[in-house]
Amino acid sequence: MQLLQGLPPEDAYTAYEIQDFWQQLLFKWEFPSWLIDYASEKHYKWTTIIRNLHDRRATVWRQRMLVSVAQLDQARMLRTLTVMAMTESEDSVLQEQLRLSLLLDGIEISGGQIVSIEGPISVTREKSRLLKNLESSSFVQKDVIAKHLKDAEDLFADGKMHPAMGEARSAFQAGIEDTVTLVEAKVQKKSGAGVGNQIEFLSKHDLLSPDEDAAFRAAWGFLSAGAHPGLPQDESGRIGLIFGLEFLQVLLLKAKTLV
């Protein structure tokens, strides 16, 4: 929305000049007539246009009747508008924020199209699933974990990859601690301090298999590492968030067997 709103040149003052700008730009990008007319009808208020397309509420006049646009067509317009906004804008800060937001959804813009990243996992969708399980869990620190996850996503979107991974690590650590607390109550024994001892405690009491023990230690090591040679910074940040989310999900599912 912000990128689109910033596209008209600063010297386009009148309604006619703004309309002429958008008519030419949308035609250049080969948008269908109904979208060009719909944008004009909404006076190029992109907040309204984008929300209506997102909610599949766009309607057009056909043969003197107001009809809904096909949902697939509305989804296609959203994708093309995103590519156009990224390509035509000169606001590098907003471009980068949108790029990182798309990356969290497991997609990127390449060759003038939105494409899925190889082996895509949407951080946004995974977080949504995890938060539902977290809300119904017995974890004492569920609110703390949710806050760490939100902060991690916000920091990632701001391009602050290392702090984002730090928040994901904190959420993961809190999940381990709460799982250990549940196991301690069941077996009437105490775990040692530190994540390494806590993972060993979960393995010793059959909540983690030997392979899972190794996987949890590896995920913790990845999240704790100060650098990831050979990995682009934004990719290491995205993978770190995915590790935090997926291993927390494993803990939540296993913790259900303890209550």
Nearest to 240 by CA among 177, 144, 190, 167: 167
Supply the angle between the helices 123-135 and 233-255 in degrees, to the nearest 10: 30
Residue 133 has a pLDDT of 84
How far is 230 from 51, CA to CA, in rounded Å? 39
Nearest to 252 by CA among 141, 137, 172, 147: 137
Residue 118 has a pLDDT of 55
How far is 75 from 72, CA to CA, in rounded Å? 5
| CATH topology (fold) of 123-258 | Four Helix Bundle (Hemerythrin (Met), subunit A) (1.20.120)
DSSP assignment letter at 258: G
Tokens matching residue 7: 């596209």
pLDDT in tens, 55-89: 998 988 887 777 888 888 988 999 999 999 999 99
For residue 257, pLDDT beyond 90:
no
CATH 1.20.120 residue ranges for the chain: 123-258
How far is 69 from 15, CA to CA, in rounded Å? 26
Q: pTM of the entire structure?
A: 0.64
